[in-house]
Amino acid sequence: MIETDLEEEKNMMKRALSVLLAAVLLCACLPALADDGYGSFTQGSTLLRSLTHNCPNTGIMLPKQFSPYETTYLLTVADWVSRPTFTPTAMDPNAVIRVNGQIVRSGQTSQVIPMQDTPQQVDITVTNGSATTTYTIYLQRRPSEKRTRVSAGFIKNIYLKGTTWRIDADLVTIRYSGEDYGSGNLSTYTNNSVDSYDYEVDPNCIFYYGTKAQCTRATNINTFVNNYLNFSSSLYTIIYIESKIVAVFPYGADY
């Protein structure tokens, strides 16, 4: 009787081990499911993990922080912005993303959204199988800000449009070690991506070339353009009033 009980116990242990081994092998064969940080898994998801735009200097989005579960946003940009794009990244890389009906690969930049003077709606759909989630961004320009703005960046192109000179610049993010320009500390800059910000040049714009420590005022824009063509990699400080450039000079840290 005791031997029978021992034999039965051994058989039960073997069956339990077999079930456990089968479970381990099954898990090893399943595709890896990464936790997205929001308490759900990526496979089969119709949510976006992130959504960014190419107007970091002027774009104000509400709600400010993107959430995969918040599907409606308001994005306002400066009145001179003309070529906004979006970069949606899906939870599931196999999901199909469309921006205003045009397919965009996950993590890639969308087509340019033509700006209008009136608010417009941008729909971003994420489809997985038969399920779809739609994110809606209400995009609009803000009224012109009648104030002076200062930025820094690399000039990509200086060209005539009709009789008006224009500058296409790739702006950078400037950070000062101190709290302000008068702190006497050095600055650093970052340029995570190449963006285009196209501005009209005021007819009375002041141009300087060279270095900040030893800069020379250009007699006219043609002189500045010739210098730019020879030293086009220079970083410049650009000053605007409203949406027109009124001064350009070599960038340099404040010592």
pLDDT digits (tens, 9 = 90+) for 119-151: 899 999 999 999 999 999 999 887 765 566 788
Of 36 and 87, the one with more pLDDT? 87
* pLDDT reported for residue 113: 94
What residue segments make up the domains of the chain, in order of their start?
48-141, 148-250
A 10 A CB-CB count for 55 gives: 21
Q: Under CATH, which architecture does the 48-141 domain have?
A: Sandwich (2.60)
Cα maximum dimension of the chain? 112
Dihedral, 59, 62, 66, 71 alpha carbons, nearest 10: -120
Q: Select from 67, 243, 220, 60 the least CA-distant residue to 149.
A: 243
pLDDT, position 255: 37
Q: Mean pLDDT lowest for which of 4-13, 80-89, 143-152?
A: 4-13
C-alpha 122/C-alpha 244 separation (Å) is 28
More confident site: 70 or 195: 70
- Per-residue pLDDT band for 41 (boundaries 50, 70, 90) equals low
Of the chain, the percentage scoring pLDDT greater than 90 comes to 31
Q: Which residue has the higher pLDDT, 32 or 197?
A: 197
Pairing relationship of beta strands 131-141 and 72-77 according to DSSP bridges? parallel
